[in-house]
Amino acid sequence: MEQLLNEHIVEIPEIGDVVQGVVIHTGGSSALIDLGPLGSGIVLGKEMRDGLGPEGKLKVGTTVSATLMSYENEDGYIELSIREASYEKSWEDIEAKLGAREAVTTKVIDANKGGLMVEINGIPGFLPVSQLSSEHYPRVEDGDKNKILDLLKKLIGQEIVVRILDADRESEKLIVSEKAAQSEKERELINLFQVGDVIQGEVSGVVDFGAFVKFSPRTKEGEKERTEKLEGLVHISELAWQLIDDPREMIKTGDQVEAKIIGIDDTRISLSMKALKEDPWNSVLEKYKIGDVLPGKVDKINHFGAFVYLDKDIHGLAHVSEFQEVYPGRKIEEVFKEGETYPWKILSIEPKSHRMGLLPVRESQKATAETE
């Protein structure tokens, strides 16, 4: 007898618990759910519609999950919410995907200057601009936020693959990354290359610190050309052997370039264009000697001193301390102007470190040096 009683004991759920039942009737704005020993429950209006997802309707005979909202409403029914249960289930699924580092396909529903709004299981999420893949990252040369927003808006309605970075049910915070989802795929492609390889690609963006170049993996003879692309950065210091203030002066988006891979760090690829050209400093000692006095054009002046080009490839620094020996008590910008040519004496040459020390020469000193 005790065993029979135990078999028929029904565990009574509490308000807020999720229960399961079978749909036994649907109307225009409500549905009846058979909860077994508990009796029948009802789902009304918004509590039903918002939990149905893309299907948009309930079918008789379908087993559903619902949250217990009340044991007896004004009509005597147990009141249920599919919306609430769906919300909890959605977060459970999102948290599981976060733990498993699983890639998720989502649709872009809106955009602002900081990134994209997406939706996963009906839960709104945010994809920061910094977490976009190289394919979708907005390359805007002047950093204009309105131009960035215009590019982001073009992604609205598109499906993208992301990975969940942060999911906090309590604060309803959901942050995703497209870049993280593509990392594994990118690593597979990157493994086809090694440091020292030479690539051909197209400049995909130019910024203050360099240029981004997109390129495809090489294919073997007879293989179909691959459509996937990798992206690497040519740092401003790797564009050319000369000093460059603004990369935009020598390269622009859409240019076809050749570069050498000089570094691979996880999914970051460092490229060099100057590595494919002869280093002019290799022959600097054949052209210049310590003690030579010759003309040089001032490229720029800063608190270190004046940077001077002796020719189109070789530059030197007239340090501010050396300047004070020749022009005591005066400021360097009072004597020299950028873009102008003046006489200089070579004090030191260091080919390996690409350094040359220069001393400004007064016209009278130049005449003396030339007669010696």
CATH number at residue 36: 2.40.50.140
Question: Is 8 part of any domain?
Answer: no
Concatenating the DSSP letter of every residue in 215-270 gives EPPP--TTSPPP---EEEEEEGGGT-SS--S-GGGT--TT-EEEEEEEEEETTEEE
Average of pLDDT values for 22-32?
81
Query: Is there a single domain that holds both residue 204 and residue 262?
Result: yes
Query: Is there a single domain that holds both residue 287 and residue 326?
Result: yes
Is 132's pLDDT higher than 50?
A: yes
Average of pLDDT values for 177-185?
81
Question: Is 357 part of any domain?
Answer: yes
Query: Is there a single domain that holds both residue 272 and residue 289?
Result: no
pLDDT at residue 47 in the model: 58
Average of pLDDT values for 215-235?
78
Is 159's pLDDT higher than 70?
A: yes
Residue 159, sorted as left (phi over 0), alpha (psi -120 to 50) or beta, turns out to be beta
CB 25 within 8 A of CB 60: yes
| Domain region containing 161 | 101-183
**Structure tokens given for 56:** 């948009």
pLDDT at residue 363 in the model: 65
Residue 10: pLDDT band with limits 50, 70, 90 = low
Question: Is 52 part of any domain?
Answer: yes
Number of folded domains in the chain? 4
Query: Is there a single domain that holds both residue 222 and residue 176?
Result: no
pLDDT at residue 4 in the model: 38
Strand pairing report for 115-120 and 78-81:
unpaired
Question: Is 123 part of any domain?
Answer: yes
Is 258's pLDDT higher than 90?
A: yes
Average of pLDDT values for 153-168?
92
C-alpha–C-alpha distance, residues 344 and 279, integer Å: 23
Question: Is 140 part of any domain?
Answer: yes
- Determine the length of the chain: 372
Residue with tokens 């006095």: 293
How many angstroms separate the Cα of 7 from the Cα of each of 1, 2, 34, 110, 113? Answer: 10, 9, 20, 53, 60
87, 114, 135 — which closes off a domain? 87
Stretch among 71-85, 87-101, 182-196, 298-312 having the lowest mean pLDDT: 71-85
Stretch among 80-89, 172-181, 182-191, 304-313 having the lowest mean pLDDT: 80-89
183, 213, 233 — which closes off a domain? 183
Residue 365: pLDDT band with limits 50, 70, 90 = low
Residue 66 burial by Cβ neighbours in a 10 Å radius (0-12, 13-18, 19+): buried
Query: Is there a single domain that holds both residue 269 and residue 306?
Result: no
Average of pLDDT values for 173-181?
90
Average of pLDDT values for 47-56?
51
Query: Is there a single domain that holds both residue 332 and residue 367?
Result: yes
pLDDT in tens, 305-347: 999 999 988 999 999 888 888 888 888 888 999 999 999 999 9
Question: Is 10 part of any domain?
Answer: no
Question: Is 61 part of any domain?
Answer: yes
Query: Is there a single domain that holds both residue 199 and residue 269?
Result: yes
The alpha-helical segments, DSSP class H, found in the chain are 2-7, 45-49, 82-100, 145-153, 178-190, 284-287, 320-326, 332-335, 363-371
Widest pairwise Cα distance in the chain: 126
Question: In percent, how much of the chain has pLDDT > 90?
Answer: 40
Stretch among 133-137, 155-159, 193-197, 231-235 having the lowest mean pLDDT: 133-137
pLDDT at residue 297 in the model: 95
Query: Is there a single domain that holds both residue 270 and residue 335?
Result: no
Residue 97: pLDDT band with limits 50, 70, 90 = confident
- List Cβ neighbours of 52 (8 Å cut-off, separation of 6 or more): 58, 82, 86
pLDDT at residue 172 in the model: 87
372 DSSP 8-state letter: -
Stretch among 22-26, 33-37, 166-170, 180-184 having the lowest mean pLDDT: 180-184
Is 17's pLDDT higher than 90?
A: no
Please give the residue that has the higher pLDDT: either 37 or 2: 37
- Looking at every residue in the chain, the average pLDDT score rounds to 84
**Highest mean pLDDT: which range of 47-51, 99-103, 274-278, 362-366:** 274-278
54, 87, 120 — which closes off a domain? 87
Query: Is there a single domain that holds both residue 240 and residue 165?
Result: no
**Structure tokens given for 120:** 């996963």
pLDDT at residue 323 in the model: 86
Average of pLDDT values for 58-67?
78
Is 364's pLDDT higher than 60?
A: no
pLDDT at residue 293 in the model: 95
Is 197's pLDDT higher than 70?
A: yes
Is 272's pLDDT higher than 90?
A: yes
pLDDT at residue 15 in the model: 83
pLDDT at residue 84 in the model: 64
Average of pLDDT values for 100-110?
90
Question: Is 94 part of any domain?
Answer: no
Average of pLDDT values for 228-249?
89
